[in-house]
Structure 1
Amino acid sequence: MENETQNKKLKILCLHGFRTSGAILRKLVERWPQPLLEKLDLVYMDAPYPAQGKSDVDGFYDPPFYEWFQSDEGFKEFYNFEECLEKIQEFMLSNGPFDGVLGFSQGALLTAAIPGMQREGVALSKVPKVKFVIMASGAKFGGSKFGIPKLASDAFSTPITTPSIHIIGETDFMKEESIKLVESFVDPLVIHHPKGHTIPRLDDKSLDMFCNFIAKIQDLP
């Protein structure tokens, strides 16, 4: 029975960054070592809205590019946020059930709020509560950089007990926001890397940390 548990792949919904795509996130994540990828069933979703402006990755990756929701220039007012969560829930119902969620950048901003929104019963209430979250270049709604959408208003009102991995780049412009996000979680696992705003390759130490985390999740009921 124990071997069955450890051999069971964890199904993870992957949410890409702002004005990129699921295909682009797949290319970044699939650089991770095979011993880790073999433990995961990664499912990539495209955000519901076409990019409403130029993408920072245009010229490096092929379009189309998408965004999860929109905001004003100061990131204080958000638009299409509820609709975005409805689309994610529909996708999870059609393609799940999912064990966890992985998010990068704008996708990580969303991912970080999911456990709290599920706890409060305001979003993704038709799907099972996620067992864990993984955030690269993450941030929290209501932090110093971002306002807070109505649906996420209580997402961080109490510490998040959902197991979490936080991937933080040394030269990432989101580094300070990512560090503040860590403080909202109980017993977070933090993986540092020397790069900037990206999904990094994993060195041996990071790989060991990641695999140990996954093994613990696999043992959960």
Structure 2
Amino acid sequence: MKVLCLHGKGTSGSIFRSQISSFRGKLPEGIEFDFVDGPFNSNAAAGIDLFYDPPYYSWWESDSIDDIRSACEWLNEYVAKNGPYDVGLMFSQGCVLGSSALLIHQEETPHLPPPFKSAIFVCGGPSSTVLEEMGFHVSAEARERDIASRKALALQAGSSAVLARGSDRWTGLPSLNSGLSDDQLREEITSPYRIDIPTVHIYGSKDPRYASGVHLSGICDPAKRRTFNHEGGHEIPRTAAVSNSIAGLFKWVIEQGDAQ
């Protein structure tokens, strides 16, 4: 059993290893985790340098379609050399990479095996640029929320917010998310098709990027997905309750991937 782990922007494979340590310790033995570093050096993600030393990496240098496609090619080459992988486990920017690679695979090379049999997306969403290139319709409301949430994340995750407020810094994006159900958020992106491998979507209602995580769940097959709101911010809470829930979802997606 092999799991490919794709970290968030401005972190690293070793940092991601630390971030998931609480629930990883609750998984069965015999699972091999591959914590790979992104190919580009990066500044630290907001607030990350308070807890972890450099180096820090990213999967691309800009959010252009060309850079994202190049990153997907890099990922496919890495999988071909080091795989196959049963599960893709991704956080933040890693979710953008993994979901983009799956969509491109489904559109261009569906006769070949996907990069991984199943996927776990944590606190991350899809690329609007990739979606629109592939014929998805992204509403104006989703675009407005995406821009506002990126600004809010930078503020709430930053070092000054961490030092001043600790975990209380996470307030989400109430001005744009208030009153909307997950199903209503999913309707903001119209899908010509969906990612069709088993998926787990883990997000927090206090994360400014919460809606992005819900949007990603909406472009995945509802018959093959499970979701979990850990009720925190842009992070992986290490409480026993959250760790047990994530470990249970991990076991579920492994079983589903094996049954494909």
* Shorter-chain TM-score tier: 0.7 to 0.9
Tell me what 1:44 maps to.
Answer: 35
Q: Are 2:71 and 1:34 equivalent residues in the alignment?
A: no
Contact 1:116 1:154 in 2 (8 A): no
Residue 60 of structure 1: CA displacement? 1.3
Alignment of 1:9-158 (within 5 A): 9=1, 11-36=2-27, 38=29, 40-51=31-42, 53-56=43-46, 57-71=48-62, 77-78=64-65, 80-121=67-108, 128-129=113-114, 130-142=116-128, 147-148=129-130, 153=134, 157-158=192-193
With normalisation by structure 2, the TM-score equals 0.68
SS at match of 1:140: coil
Deviates more, 1:172-181 or 1:28-37: 28-37
Instruction: Flag the structure with higher helix content.
Output: 2
Unpaired segments of 5 or more residues in structure 1? Answer: 1-8
Contact 2:106 2:195 in 1 (8 A): no
Deviations 1:70-120 (A, max 9, x none): 33xxx5x34532332232222212211112211100001111222221112
Amino acid at match of 1:128: P
Contact 1:117 1:154 in 2 (8 A): no
Q: Are 2:166 and 1:181 equivalent residues in the alignment?
A: no
With normalisation by structure 1, the TM-score equals 0.78
Q: Are 2:199 and 1:164 equivalent residues in the alignment?
A: yes
Contact 1:170 1:195 in 2 (8 A): yes
SS at match of 1:209: helix
Contact 1:93 1:127 in 2 (8 A): no
Cα separation, 1, equivalents of 2:70 and 2:101? 14
Cα separation, 1, equivalents of 2:66 and 2:10? 15
Q: CA, structure 1 residues 216+175, in 2 after alignment: closer, same or farther (shift >3 Å)? A: same
Tell me what 1:211 maps to.
Answer: 251
Cα separation, 2, equivalents of 1:16 and 1:126? 28
Question: May I ask how many residue pairs the two structures share in their alignment?
Answer: 199
Q: CA, structure 1 residues 127+16, in 2 after alignment: closer, same or farther (shift >3 Å)? A: farther
